[in-house]
Amino acid sequence: MSILLKNCHVVSPDYDVENVAILIEGEKIKQLFTDPNDLPVAGQVIDAKGQLVVPGFIDIHCHGRSGFDFSDGSQEAMDTIAVDKLKEGVTTWLPTTLTLDEERLAVALSTAADYVKSGRKGCKVPGVHLEGPFINPNCLGAQNPAYVRPPDIEEVKRLAKIFPIRKLSYAIELEGGAGFAAQLLAEGITPSCVHSAARYAEFRDGRKNGLRNLSHFCNQMSPLHHRDIGLVGAGLADDGVFIEFICDTLHICPDMIRLVFDLKDNERILLITDAVRAAGMPDGEYILGELAIVVVNGVVRLKSNGALGGSSLAFCDGLKNVAEITGKPLAQLIKTTSWNQARSIGLEKHGRIEPGYFADMVFLSDDFRPTEVFVNGELRLTS
């Protein structure tokens, strides 16, 4: 059945036009109409009432929400997170692991495979994101030191047989780290660097071998220094590398957010949440892997040492923060919510409201709250 969305204020990369109608046929966008007096007949008509209509958000770094973590390895966790991410406007999600042993990683990936096979009506899950376990033990953040190990492409291949791995975040300076990027690319996996003390020269070696991304930019990576610009300097200096931003104004302060958006091409910035099970939940005590975390006023910290332990950020709030802090046109900022993510992990026909693209779209209120969410042309959430 065809669906016509009329009276839309469409904001897509480099496109900001009011009173647009969008014709959906099946899972994809068929056509856009800018003349409200010349609209096609459709099986269903939905009036957007002038609301913002943007491409569905793609969160490529999120561990959990609603009291569950993907690494719990339960079907209830997988299903709950995938459905509740819709509330944030997320239409595609890469379930993100913690640094754990291979057996538990395998169980978690199995729940993602079962979710996709079942056809459940949450957000789309084209693959997973392995954060760790191949990280620098001196840059743990909230990762568990008990399970840190050297890069092992054979382990990655075993896990990928269970469910596709779209992205893997690791420390590029570990022995064999530069070549590991090339090995990942050969398997169709986006190599990303984080939890790393890499020097700029080590970053450059990784880039030559295909390193594409820097995960949760500025956090748990070598800082900018006048004698070695480290990974933070690399993210600003290298025009081609994608940088991923937790824009909760805590992991990255507003001044740094503003500075990065002034210095870095919007085509290379990706918003992420790095959310944990505390997202969407009240303050209190929770578990991150095997580590206790405490949430006070929405801020997530390890109980043992006070280190930040992921976020409780909703994706739509990250966009709102960036819009308010930078003041940049939304048609530019919207690149950072799905178009750039899709390109960074090789996801075709996602991230734009154009004919031929998947009909993954979000209606946003004036304060950036999702009111309707479409996934593959199907209305899966309405307020």
User: Any idea what the CATH number is for the domain that residue 43 is in?
Assistant: 2.30.40.10
Same-domain status, 146 and 239? yes
Secondary structure (3-state) at 17? strand
Residue among 231, 68, 220, 70 nearest 148 (CA): 220
The predicted structure's pLDDT at residue 379: 97
Q: List the beta bridge partners of residue 169.
A: 131, 192
Q: Hey, is 373 helix, strand or coil?
A: strand
pTM for this one? 0.97
Whether residues 43 and 192 fall in one domain: no
Claim to verify: residue 147 and residue 35 sit in the same structural domain? no
**One domain for residues 151 and 32:** no
Shared domain check, 308 and 282? yes
The predicted structure's pLDDT at residue 221:
96
Q: Do 263 and 359 fall into the same domain?
A: no
* Nearest-angstrom CA–CA distance, 128 and 325: 31
274 is catalytic: yes
Percent residues over pLDDT 70 in the chain = 100
Domain boundaries, position 16:
2-54+353-382
What distance in Å separates the CA atoms of residue 151 and residue 149, rounded to the nearest whole number? 7
Residues 6 or more apart from 311 whose CB is under 8 A from it?
246, 248, 250, 251, 273, 274, 275, 276, 279, 300
Domain count, the chain: 2
Strand partners, 30: none
Q: What is the pLDDT of residues 249-295, one digit of tens each?
A: 999 999 999 999 999 999 999 999 999 999 999 999 999 888 899 99
For position 289, what pLDDT does the model report? 86
**Which residue from 65, 59, 62 is spatially nearest to 295, judged by alpha carbons?**
65
* 165 shares a domain with 136: yes
Could you read off the pLDDT of 113-151 as tens digits, one per residue?
Answer: 999 999 999 999 999 999 999 999 999 888 889 999 999
Q: Token pair 């969407």 is at which residue? A: 280
pLDDT of residue 142: 82
Q: Which of 72, 79, 274, 360 is the catalytic position?
A: 274
What CATH number is given to the structural domain containing 86?
A: 3.20.20.140
Q: 194 with 118, same domain?
A: yes
Q: Same domain, yes or no, for 36 and 161?
A: no
144 and 232 belong to one structural domain: yes
256 and 126 housed in the same domain:
yes
pLDDT at 208 over 90: yes
- Same domain for 15 and 115, yes or no, is no
